[in-house]
A and B are shown apart, each in its own frame.
Chain A
Amino acid sequence: MLRYLALKVGRALFVVWAAFTLTFVLLFVLPANPVDLLFDPAELNTVTSEVREQAAESYGFNKPVLLQYLGRLGHALTGDFGNSVQSGRSVTATILDVLPSTFVLASGALLLALLIAFAIALIATSTRRAWVRNLVEALPSGAVSVPVFLSGILMLQVFSFQLGWFPAFGDRGAKSLVLPVITLAIPVSGPIAQLLVRSFATEFRSGYVTTSWAKGATRGVIVVRDVFRNASLPALTIAGITFGNLIAGSVITETVFARQGIGRMTQAAINTLDVPLVQGVVVLAAASFAVINLIVDLIYPLLDPRLRATLTVGSPRAA
């Protein structure tokens, strides 16, 4: 078990390092010079070369790329990601400032998305009416087929501007969370629901269910007891994947609802080639991703007796 744990943690660390490195490479592949982006574009041709050099020097952009990389990596190991090129503020402070707001939004949306997904999957699996099942099974694809910004804007038109139930922008307590959470949850619920519907159905057909069926269990009991537990495994996998969707979705949700947050900040940082800030965010994202997966990996064997069996034998298959 200890070896299993060490393996997982080492893997998580690798992911974080690789993400850091890959981002650095990607940003340097870009056909743009971060120094250019510090000036008003209309004035760009007027900026003298001395001014450019001075700007490049104060951010260390004139050093050899490898040195820049090593320097940043060294500092990053101590938790120091430098200062944002755009605002001059320390990256850590900048991120910590906006993190809670995104965290609340994302976890609310994830929770709601899981509720929706499980509801859809349960109804689709347990109903006996074909048309209900067809309708419910169409929901996930319906959910992902409307652009997030459009559903957000339309919801605002109705619930904020016409009915006045919720504030339209900013972050003013629980009430201003309702619309953004729904907006973000809808597209996120789609893939999860789809996967659940599929695996619930698969589980329903598999041998042990048939056995329970033969033993005289009712449909509802079967769904809850057997199918639910076994089909949750891939759902956990996709929850990890969903993490990325949440970040991408939060960029748009935070923009539409004018909220402070990691998503919007990341977009601005990428746009302005704010290398230190982008790296801070990527490391954060990679680390959170690694931790979520670590947890999933640790829960996996507990949920699935088959994997638990292989684990005790010591097979690396579950890695």
Chain B
Amino acid sequence: MVSDLRSSIERAAPRRKKWPWGAGIVAVLLIAVSGFALTRGGGPGAQAAGDGKPVHGGTLQFALIDYQRSPDPQWGTNYAESLIGNNITDKLTWQDPDTGEITPWLAKSWEYNKDLTEFTFHLRTDVTFSDGTPFDSAVVKANFDQYVHGDQKLGILPNGATLLPGYIETRTPDKHTAIIRFKKPLASFLQASSFTANAQPGFLSLSTLKLSAEQRTDPKKVIGTGPFVYQSWKAQVSTVLVKRKGYNWSPPALKHQGEAYLNKIVFSTIPEASVRTGSLGSGAIDATLDVGTTDEKSLADQGFEIIHRAVSGTSIFFNFNSRLFPTNDIAVRKAIQLGWNREALKKTVLTGSYSVATSVLGPSVSGYADYSGSVLTYDPKKAEQLLEKAGWKRGPDGIRVKDGKKLVVKLLGINNLVVNKPAYESIQQDLKKIGIDLQLTVVPIPDYSANVAKAKTDWNITAANRSRNDPAVLNLQYSPLLGNGSYLGEDSTGVDVDEVTKTLGRLELTLDPVERKQYAKAAQDLLLDKYALVNPVYNPSQVIAQAKYVHGIIFDAQSRNHFVNAWKGNGK
């Protein structure tokens, strides 16, 4: 490899004389890099895979883009926070990622009343925290109380207030029974009890709950029941977990007995895509999350394994503001749904790990229905007809005009996923052809948040997604009483707001699978077809590239990872 560099320098040498030095240096590097891209391959990823029997021990070097801002798992809004939280804490239930079914975990069994306002969980009796204290109903109560209400004195925010709306209390009739009560029916609570994404209800020891937010930044004091415990936490750089001795209560559905296989996991934050990919190639890390779409193929060619799961919940959506001109016109909303080429998006932006959205719900959420044959299809002719009929005529610059006002649609989006910007640009290209000027503002998360606060009056479209593997996510996201994603109100022309509220609200009223499916279909019909309040774009995915000797990394129902079952073929 050294000789490669030398020859590339030699090749570059004659040019250096003509070019100024700075450019010359870049040229040398450029040629070295392209030489590098060609000669690599057959890297460490191509090593033998092992014989399939789990090997105990070893350290997994795992890279990802985000970092934990605090080791406290109940507070967190990014992937690193939820992913690491999942491995140091356990939840009451485990949702099967394939079927969506809720299965036992820390709760052996449960029942609920007919109104869906009271949920009774029967807890396992053998579970302990890593400091030796037992896990029991008092712990559940203390956790839920603080999770929902926060603690002003300790500086703990009400992290769970949005997940558990209307929480009244937890009753503890005995040591191993916990009854959780709500003001209103909350069918989605059962799924919430397994929730593994942002601000998750993972159980912390009573001693941890007494700590202030500041004290919880000492990772050694953050105590859970999970298969791993904290060894260290360095903000923005790394979190190190070691295996919990004596752990024996992973979700029965995983069929994993006893402790985790790995001794240690090092989560390294590497913000740059090319550095994550390169580090995997050079063997500095064993696996990485947040694989750039364009790197997937080259990593696979080098012998690395690509594993992925679509994030369950909503797709990446364009939520239309139903009050603001021009998206208050249903013809415009429908034209946008029909006006962009899904094939082109698939070909240029998405990889096999992603898919074009066929509903506002992801395909893995129960109640999902496919709209690719009806409203979510590319039909520019029909889109133009709709616009013509509604009075939108082509202006001199090709952009349509009505009553002297241009068809300019302002979109606010987040640039946290590599796919977002090119995907939106692809749609922008297509919409321009039918006379819609889609203006993109795609910014980092904090700026997005700051702007969402003004979305009602400033933005025609907000583009994001929400991960929650339950059809009630539609109620949370779009109900005028809750998230109100399309800003429905009295001045939303042509929309029966009550109808939307009621139709979506029904998703919280039953846990009967057949009924729920009907309600979910009705909700999707309203959102996608009847009122066209949302244009789903693509289904986001979590993609991991790993060396061949890495096995058993689990994607859960929210596509967060669990490492209890992970092992390395070389045991190192």
- Chain A contacts to B: CB under 8 angstroms: 30-33, 36-48, 51, 54-55, 57-58, 83, 86-90, 94, 97-98, 135, 138-139, 141-143, 145-146, 149, 151, 153-158, 160-164, 167-171, 255-260, 264-265, 268, 271-273
Contacts and interface: CB of A to CB of B under 8 A. Distances in A.
Interface in B259-290: 268-272, 274-275, 278-279, 281-282, 284
Given A88-B213, A258-B269, A271-B446, A48 B161 contact: yes
A51 B199 CA distance: 14
Contact of A33 (B70, B237, B445, B453): B453
B452 A268 contact: no
Nearest to A145: B22
A182 to B, nearest CB: 11
B23 A142 contact: yes
B207 interface: no
Interface residues of B, number: 73
B274 to A, nearest CB: 5
Contact of A260 (B1, B77, B217, B236): B236
Given A88-B70, A154-B26, A260 B271 contact: no
Given A40-B77, A45-B483, A156 B162 contact: no
B33 A157 contact: yes
Interface of B: 1-2, 4-5, 20-23, 25-26, 29-30, 32-33, 36, 40, 63, 69-70, 72, 77, 150, 152, 155, 157-158, 161-162, 165, 198-199, 212-214, 216-217, 234-238, 268-272, 274-275, 278-279, 281-282, 284, 414, 444-450, 452-454, 464-466, 476-477, 482-485
B446 A158 contact: no
B275 A258 contact: yes
B450 A31 contact: yes
Complex A-B, nearest 6 residue pairs according to Cβ-Cβ distance, in ascending order: A142-B22, A88-B213, A32-B450, A161-B278, A42-B466, A89-B217
A45 B485 contact: yes
A65 B2 CA distance: 61
Contact of B272 (A57, A58, A151, A153): A153
Given A44-B453, A138-B20, A167-B284, A158 B29 contact: yes
A41 B452 contact: yes
15 contacts: A32-B453, A33-B453, A36-B450, A39-B162, A42-B464, A88-B213, A90-B214, A142-B23, A156-B275, A157-B36, A160-B279, A160-B282, A168-B284, A255-B272, A258-B272
Nearest to B473: A42
A17 B118 CA distance: 56
B235 A87 contact: yes
A258 B155 contact: no
A45 to B, nearest CB: 4
A158 B32 contact: yes
A139 B22 contact: yes
Contacts of B484: 45
Contacts of A168: 275, 278-279, 282, 284
Contact of B237 (A44, A51, A88, A259): A259
Which of B2, B155, B449, B482 is packed against the most chain A CB atoms within 10 Å? B449
A161 B32 CA distance: 11
B476 A46 contact: yes
Given A83-B155, A168-B284, 13 more contacts: A36-B449, A47-B161, A54-B158, A55-B158, A57-B152, A86-B69, A90-B214, A138-B20, A138-B22, A156-B274, A158-B32, A161-B282, A170-B268
A158 B271 CA distance: 19
A85 to B, nearest CB: 10
A135 B238 CA distance: 44
A255 B67 CA distance: 12
Nearest to A139: B21
Nearest to A270: B446
Nearest to B67: A268
A43 B466 contact: yes
Given A44-B449, A89-B70, A153 B213 contact: no
B9 to A, nearest CB: 11
A268 B66 CA distance: 11
Nearest to B1: A162
B482 A45 contact: yes
Nearest to A39: B77
B279 A45 contact: no
A156 B278 CA distance: 8
Contacts of B445: 41
Given A142-B22, A258-B271, A259-B237, A88 B464 contact: no
A154 B33 contact: yes
Contact of B284 (A37, A42, A169): A169
A96 to B, nearest CB: 13
Contacts of B4: 162
A266 to B, nearest CB: 11
B271 A83 contact: no
Contacts of A40: 77, 198-199
A146 B482 contact: no
Given A47-B161, A138-B21, A157-B33, A41 B448 contact: yes
A169 B268 contact: yes
A38 B157 contact: yes
Given A142-B20, A169-B270, A32 B476 contact: no
A31 B446 CA distance: 12
B22 to A, nearest CB: 2
Contacts of B2: 163
A161 B36 contact: yes
Nearest to A167: B284
Nearest to B281: A161
